[in-house]
Amino acid sequence: MLGFLSSKNYDPSTSHRDSVGSKTDLKMPPAACEETITPEKKLEIKIFSLYRLVWNGIYRVNDRHGPTHLNRLAELFVGAGMSSFVNKPEQIPDEHTVNGGRRWNPADIRVLQPLRAALTNPGPRGLRLFDGMSVASLEAVVEVLEAYAKEIASVNALYQLLRGLQVGFRMPTEDDEKAVLEQFIPTAHEFARRILHLDARLCVLVSDLEDEFWNAYGPVTGRDGWLVHDVVFPPIQDQGRSKKVISFKAMK
């Protein structure tokens, strides 16, 4: 299933930029080590580990509420000589006005909109699992998350590119802007296109998982499943509480 997203060469031990640097960073949810390790449970553990890796490597630094990679890239974008774009009317989104409107940041600049769309789209946050999922379905989830994880290298490359284009304290020139527009923007847009495609594939997969559960068990409790994000990064009010993960017990 989803063979074209195969990522057998993916190595989660590869060093990354900020908080995810090795396998030791991939923490197992407490409930995952309290039950018998079945094939389903092994895949579940891998899903949680991959999700944490993807979230920290592509979307937010550190945790559920850390700074976003989008905002950090946008800051570096402006620092690479693009400060004039902050005041260009054609770069200001329609919902912002000079004499009012909501506050905006560099990530709102129009030329960055494809990147913004990709990194603010629900994406992996919409990943839901269901009790009693088959091994094949869990493997399909792993495959999609591995495809996302391969894009962490692309995020690292965007950081490296922008850091190499920083202008320091001197006044930016037209050549600085040209370098960013020619080197960074095409790379960022291509990355955004790949992420949005993966988002679409993930949406299809989640629908398939919901159908699988419905066909197997009908309108029973658990049909809506639960978000992987809330297990890996529990909401503040759930911190310290015991949280159900997956039972994988036959449902009657």
Pick 20 or 119 by higher pLDDT.
119
Name the nearest CA neighbour of 56 among 139, 148, 138: 148
Q: Distance between the two ends of the chain, CA-based, in angstroms?
A: 28
> Mean pLDDT score of the chain, rounded to an integer?
80
Domain boundaries defined on the chain = 3-238
Q: Does the pLDDT at position 194 exceed 50?
A: yes
On the question of pLDDT at 102 being above 60, the answer is: no
**What does the chain come to in residues?**
252
| CA 231 to chain CA mean position, Å | 15
Average pLDDT for 25-46 = 72
* Residues contacting residue 238 through CB under 8 Å, at least 6 positions apart: 230
Query: Each residue of 137-162: pLDDT tens digit?
Result: 999 999 999 999 999 999 999 999 99
- CB-CB contact of 38 with 132 (8 Å): no
**How would residue 243 be classed by pLDDT, with cut points 50, 70 and 90?**
very low
Asked whether 75 and 61 are in contact (CB, 8 A), the reply is no
Tokens of 130: 């269901």
200 phi and psi angles, rounded to 5 deg? -65, -45
